[in-house]
Amino acid sequence: MKVIKRNGSEVEFDINKIIQAIKKANASVLNMEMTDEKIQEAAEFVAFKCERMNRAVSVEEIQDMVENQIMASGAFEVARNYVKYRYNRSLIRKSNTTDDKILNLIECNNEEVKQENSNKNPVVNSVHRDYMAGEVSRDLTNRILLPKEVVDAHREGIIHFHDSDYYAQHMHNCDLVNLEDMLQNGTVISETLIEKPHSFSTACNIATQIIAQVASNQYGGQSISLTHLAPFVQVSREKIRKEVIKEFAELGGTDESKIDKVVEDRLHLEIEKGVQTIQYQVVTLMTTNGQAPFLTVFLYLNEARDEREKHDLALIIEETLKQRYQGVKNEAGVWITPAFPKLIYVLEEDNIREGTKYFYLTQLAAKCSAKRLVPDYISEKKMKELKEGNCFPVMGCRSCLNPWKDENGNYKFYGRFNQGVVTINLVDVALSSGKDMDKFWKIFDERLDLCYEALMCRHERLKGTLSDAAPILWQNGAIARLKKGEKIDKLLYGGYSTISLGYAGLCECVRYMTGHSHTDPSATGFALDVMRYMNAACDRWYKETNIKFSIYGSPIESTTYKFAKCLQKRFGIIEGVTDKGYITNSYHVHVTEDIDAFTKLKFEAQFQSLSSGGAISYVEVPNMQDNLDAVISVIQFIYDNIMYAELNTKSDFCQKCGYDGEIQIVEEDGKLFWECPNCGNRDQDTMNVARRTCGYIGTQYWNQGRTQEIRERVLHL
């Protein structure tokens, strides 16, 4: 059994340390209240409770248990001295906590940080640098920048104040990059003017430079649309045609059909080259936050302005899917599944059924999903129902804008952004109420007020920011074309940008309050009421502030583990509620619940419609590469029933033995490990594992809570 020290490193559990700690406290009392037998009994009971946690236990959790056991034995003076000793030690630690954390980051001793982000490699210098800066920012945030009640609620797992490691800077979360404006009208990168490109391949190259610059000036994801690259296919076609005509003329030929064929062949090669540039640049670029750009690419045929552009866009989409299906080579030269860019393929009337013009693209998308986990799917039909007749990309993973019109009454989505997120722990609200429904709504109000205070801190941190802080975003077109020295404030109001109230653990919240899963018809109504209650709060805040608050199905990666530990500490182990090392993301059906893919998607659709700030649903499937008809059936069901969904499968490789199959999760001494079933390899540096984490693909492994959640997922097909 492992114990997590305060610096994040792991050590073996040692009962003797507990015995010695109690003996010291006991010796400090004049007439020593505890016998050696009582001390041994208390220590053994603490060890038993730690074993029941079925995960690594923190030093703080163990000390809480020790304190409770001393009290239970009636040794109140001993308990008082033990508490006093803990308090004095905490005061000493406060003076150098940040120093210790940074030193342990550099030496790679902090297990929690190592597993914090499934797309960051914690052993490389660039990630060290980002994490070190993050610790300093987090320290400033907690000591100076945030109100004490927000810091305390975050620490106790009542809420989660996202990305506090970036809060000290004036940075926002995620956005839809206005690539069209930047390519068509030019931009500036690192004080260098970049003019409108004269070919498709050049446009792709410039796009990757923009992506890298944007990623280095914010902390969340970004999305671009392939539609914005499509006009440059025709630019290249015309350029190539001039060259080919000249070549034919020099050879004494003028055969138009042959010219057309040569032009299109060369054009296809240029498209292949351009798409490859995006694919490989995004995978290999390292931004200032120590990871590849968190990029989503939008594949939407009906976004094209005319039929010719739509045809050219189809060529780009086809090449993008083909290259993603192939994958990228790892250092051993084996084709594997990359984490980025994330792809979103829009399902529409002319690509969803057999016989429609672009159905071949959907077939290719299905083949790609079955092997490489992407693309994900947006239903044009369902999105238009929910977004005032519009279909547009989400920002990064799932954060979704609300419809907004400019002064001319035109809808605008590109160049807009999200200010930040604070997530409420719904499970804690429920458990704090003790199943008293009146008390539940009262506590819910208090927690929502706390979230509002925290969200307004995010807003105020951005307010007054000068455009000079990130020229690529605010001055050179990615988001806006503000003047130098101009404040970004006007972009924070009126719904132009959003700010998100995230939520987690609806499933466990409902199960505790009603005794049933939220999929049970007797409990679904309560679950929907909880969602409506949060929406009503956001609407009220919008009216009061003119800031667009929206409900967000939080993709809590490491926080799912943190929330679970906090709940266990505050409320103990409650079957079906706090007995896991994780809590369920947003509104999702619990990963262990037996439910088929179609029922799950249909059920979760009603919660997506109430998560206007972003949400995604998934179905867990086995290897479907030999059953693409079933994949197509799921995709067609998505089109008719839910706005945004994805298929989860496995895509792994063991570099030691060449095993190309599912890497298993095994348990040893209460800790979970990834292990090759063929050779027993557990060295994560010699395995390629790709898993959907919470809407996006992770490839750098996960904390113990998320790993348990991945292991316990049941198949829906």
pLDDT (average), residues 507-524? 98
Q: What is the pLDDT of residues 675-716, one digit of tens each?
A: 999 999 999 889 888 888 766 777 767 878 888 998 999 999
Return mean pLDDT, the chain: 90
pLDDT in tens, 388-433: 999 999 997 789 999 999 999 999 999 999 999 999 999 999 999 9
Backbone angles phi, psi at 376, to 5 degrees: -90, 175
Report d(CA 381, CA 362) in Å as an integer: 16
* CB environment 532-565: b (16+ within 10 A), e (fewer): eebbebbeebbeebebbbbbbbbbbbbbbbbbbb
β-sheet bridge partners, residue 421 = 500
From the list 34, 368, 383, 395, the catalytic residue is: 395
Residue 487 falls within a domain, yes or no? no
What pLDDT, on the 0 to 100 scale, is given for residue 540?
98
pLDDT in tens, 339-350: 889 999 999 999
Q: Residue 126: its pLDDT value, please?
A: 60
Q: How confident is the model at residue 106 (pLDDT cuts 50, 70, 90)?
A: low
Is 451 known to be catalytic?
no
Question: Tens of pLDDT along 260-276?
Answer: 999 999 999 999 999 99
**Which pLDDT does position 271 carry in this prediction?**
98
Q: Is 395 a catalytic residue?
A: yes
Q: Is residue 472 part of a domain?
A: no
Average pLDDT value for residue range 650-674: 89
Q: Which of 399, 497, 517, 681 is catalytic?
A: 399
pLDDT band at 40 (very low <50, low <70, confident <90, very high): very high
Q: Is 557 a catalytic residue?
A: yes
Which residues constitute the domain of residue 285?
A: 174-386
How many helices and strands (H and E) does the chain possess? 24, 23
Domain holding 265: CATH number?
3.20.70.20
Give me the mean pLDDT over the 545-568 stretch: 92
Reported pTM:
0.85
Contact 311, 351 (CB under 8 A): no
Residue 663 lies in a domain: no
pLDDT score, position 11: 84
What is the tens place of the pLDDT at every residue in 316-328?
A: 999 999 999 999 9
Annotated catalytic residue, options 369, 418, 648, 681: 418
> Does residue 220 lie within any of the structural domains?
yes
Decide if 399 is catalytic.
yes
User: Is residue 307 one of the residues assigned to a domain?
Assistant: yes
Active-site pick, 396, 614, 695, 698:
695
Q: Exactly one of 53, 174, 507, 531 is catalytic; name it.
A: 174
Residue 29: per-residue pLDDT: 83
- For the ranges 76-85, 163-172, 285-294, 553-562, the one whose mean pLDDT is highest: 163-172
Q: How confident is the model at residue 91 (pLDDT cuts 50, 70, 90)?
A: low
**Cis omega before residue 341 (within 30°)?**
yes
Active site residue 12: no
Which member of 118, 173, 425, 611 is catalytic?
A: 173
Asked if residue 334 belongs to a domain, the reply is yes
At 303, list the tokens. 């976004």
Active-site option among 61, 303, 557, 709 = 557
Residue 615 lies in a domain: no
Query: Which member of 50, 53, 397, 513 is catalytic?
Result: 397
For residue 366, tell me if it sits in a domain: yes
Q: Is 379 among the catalytic positions?
A: no
Q: In percent, how much of the chain has pLDDT > 90?
A: 68
Question: What pLDDT is stored for residue 549 in this prediction?
Answer: 98
**Is residue 1 flagged as an active site residue?**
no
- Number of folded domains that form the chain: 1
Q: Mark out the alpha helices in 373-425 (DSSP H runs).
A: 380-386
Q: What is the pLDDT of residue 118?
A: 47
pLDDT at residue number 541 = 98
For residue 206, what is the DSSP state? Answer: H
pLDDT for 241:
96
Contacts of 152 (CB under 8 A, 6+ apart): none
> Poorest-confidence range of 165-169, 200-204, 639-643?
165-169
Q: What is the pLDDT of residue 96?
A: 52
